Amino acid sequence: MKALTIIKAGTGTGAAILLLTAAPAAQAAPAAQASSGVTVPCSGPGGGPAGLIAAINTANSGGGAMINLAADCTYPLTAANNTNPMLGDNGLPVITSRIIVNGLRTTIAGNDTGFRIFMVTGSGNLTLQGLTVTGGHTGGFGGGIFNLEGTLTLDHSKVTGNASEGAMMSAGGGGIASGTLGTGPLGTATLNFSQVTGNTTSASAGGILNHAGTLTLNASQVNGNTAAVGGGGIGSGTAGIGGNGSSMLTVNFSQVDGNTSGGGPLTGAGGIANGGTAIINSSQVNGNTAPGAYGGGILNHGAMTINLSQVDNNTTPAKSSGSQGGGGGIANLNITPLTGVPDSGILTVYLSQVRDNSAGGIGGGILEDGVNPDDSLGRAGGPLTLQASQVTGNTAGEGGGIYASSGSPVALNLALVAGNVPDNCFPLGSIPGCMS
C-alpha cells in the first residue's frame, strides 16, 4: 500500500486539519500462492472454466477446500452454471462451504450477458486472493458477486466491469451485493487491499450494496462506479431506509472517489449513501457527483462518524430538468418524520475536512435538513457536530459552507467554516460560532 499522512495546521480561531490516505496500488499480489489444495490449470484436462466448476462442486460436497488457479490466466465463463428464478443466474456453482480461491493476476470473466460470476449463501464462506472478477451481468443483486447472508473476503483482488440491472427493489450492487434480503445485520463482506471499480447498476449502489449486512473496507478503493439512483460508490442500509442497527459500514484507509449517481433526495449520494451505522476512518470521499440530487460525496440518513478524513471536490450540479441538487459535499438528512425510524441524520465529523465541494442549489459543503430539502428551510435536520474540522472553499446558491434548516442542532467545536461562497452558513446567524 502507498500510504501517506499529511497534517496541516490551520490559522485563525478554528482548528484546521488535513490528513490524507492513499489507497492501494492496483491489485497488489498476495505474498505467495498457497502450496496446498486443488490446482486448476489454465487449460487442458481438468483445467479452464470446466475444471474450476468441478473443483467448486467437489469443495462444496466435501465441506470446503483451497483452489489454486494459474497465474496470468483468464478463465472465461460462456454460460450460466445454475439458475435461480428469484435471484438470477450464476456463472459458477453457488458457494455453500468454506472455499479459498487463489490466483496471481488471474481473471474469472463472464460474457456480460445474463449471469453474475459468484453467489455465496448463508453457509458459504468465500475468500478470493489475487483475482479479478469481471464481465458479470445480472437482472438481480450483485453483478459480479452476490453474498446472501454468507461471508465474503477479497484480498488483493479486483471487481470491475460488472453490471446489475432490474427493478429498483430487486437489483443493486453493480460490482458486489452483500447482506440479507430481510432485516439484519446478516452477511459479512471484507475488502483488504482490493478494488471495486467501473461497475454499473440501474438501481442503487454502483460499486457495493451492503443491504442489512456488515461491510468493511481496509486499504481499498471503490472508484469510478455508477448507479442510476442512490450510492454511486457504496449504498449501505435496508432498502435505503434502514434503522441504525440494520447495517454496519466501516471504511479504513480507503478511497471512495469518482463515482456517480442520480435520483432524488433519499437516493442521491455520488460516493456513499448510508441508512445504517457508518464509520469512516483516515479515508477520502472525493470527486463524486450526484446531478440534481443530494449528497455529492455522502448522503447520511442513519448515523455516521467521520474521523481524520477528506470529503473534497464533490458536486451536485443542477440538471436540465430543473432539479438543483444540494449538499455538494455531504447531505445529512433527518428522515424520522417520514419513516418513523429513530435516530436519523446523526453526523459527527472529527479532525476532517469538507473542502472545495459545490452544489447547484443549497449547501455547498454540508446540507443539514429534514425530510425534504426542497421545502426551503423545512423540518430540522439531525444532530451535526464538527469537532476540530474545517469546511472551506465550498460553493452553492445558498449556504456555501453549511445550509441548516431552522432548529437543526449544529455544534461547531474548534471548527473552521470559512472562505465559502456566497456565505459560510445560511441562514446568517443560525449556527453559533459560524461567521458570515
Number of C-beta neighbours around residue 97 at 10 A: 17
Q: Is residue 221 part of a domain?
A: yes
C-alpha to C-alpha distance for 191 and 159, rounded to whole angstroms: 11
Q: What is the number of domains present in the chain?
A: 1
For residue 51, how many C-alpha atoms fall within 13 Å in the half-sphere facing its CB?
19
Q: How many CB atoms lie within 10 A of CB 422?
A: 12
**Residue 344 pLDDT:** 83
- For residue 214, give the amino acid letter: T
Distance CA 114, CA 345 (A): 38
* Residues 129 and 156: beta-carbon distance below 8 Å: yes
Q: Is 296 part of a structural domain of the chain? A: no
Q: Nearest 5°: phi and psi at 385?
A: -125, 125
In a domain, 84, yes or no: yes
56 falls within a domain: yes
Any domain includes 143: yes
Backbone φ and ψ of 169, nearest 5°: -85, -5
| Cα 234 to Cα 197: distance, rounded to the nearest angstrom | 11
* Domain presence at residue 369: no
Instruction: Give the residue numbers spanning the domain of 114.
Output: 34-228
Contact status, residue 136 vs residue 110, Cβ threshold 8 Å = yes
Residue written as grid cell 430539502:
373
What is the spatial distance between Cα 292 and Cα 359, in angstroms, rounded to a whole number? 9
**Does some domain include residue 224?**
yes
pLDDT at 372: 56
pLDDT in tens, the chain (436 residues): 444 343 343 433 344 444 454 455 444 455 444 457 999 999 999 999 999 999 999 999 999 999 999 999 999 999 999 999 889 999 999 999 999 999 999 999 999 999 999 999 989 999 999 999 999 999 999 999 999 999 999 999 999 999 999 765 678 999 999 999 887 789 999 999 999 999 999 999 999 999 999 999 999 999 999 999 889 999 998 644 444 558 999 999 999 999 999 865 456 899 999 999 999 999 999 999 999 999 999 999 999 999 999 999 999 998 877 778 899 999 999 876 666 676 788 999 999 999 999 999 999 999 998 865 554 446 788 899 999 999 999 999 999 999 998 888 999 999 999 999 999 999 888 898 898 7
Per the domain annotation, does 195 fall within a domain? yes
What pLDDT shows up at residue 98? 98
- pTM equals 0.92
Question: What SS3 string covers the chain?
Answer: CCCCCCCCCCCCCCECCCCCCCCCCCCCCCCCCCCCCEEECCCCCCCHHHHHHHHHHHHHHHCCEEEEECCCCEEECCCCCECCCCCCEECCCCECCEEEEEEEEEEEECCCCCEECEEECCCCEEEEEEEEEECCEECCECCCEEEECCEEEEECCEEECCEECCCHHHCECCCEEEECCCCCCCCEEEEECCEEECCEECCCCCCEEEECCEEEEECCEEECCEECCCCCCEEEECCCCCCCCCCEEEEECCECCCCEECCCCCCCCCCEEECCEEEEECCECCCCECCCCECCCEEECCEEEEECCEEECCEECCCCCCCCCECCCEEEECCHHHHCCCCCCEEEEECCEEECCEECCECCCEEEECCCHHHCCCCCCCCEEEECCEEECCECCECCCEEECCCCCEEEECEEEECCECCCEECCCCCCCCCC
Are the CB atoms for 145 and 172 separated by under 8 Å? no
**What is the pLDDT, as a whole number, of residue 271?**
97
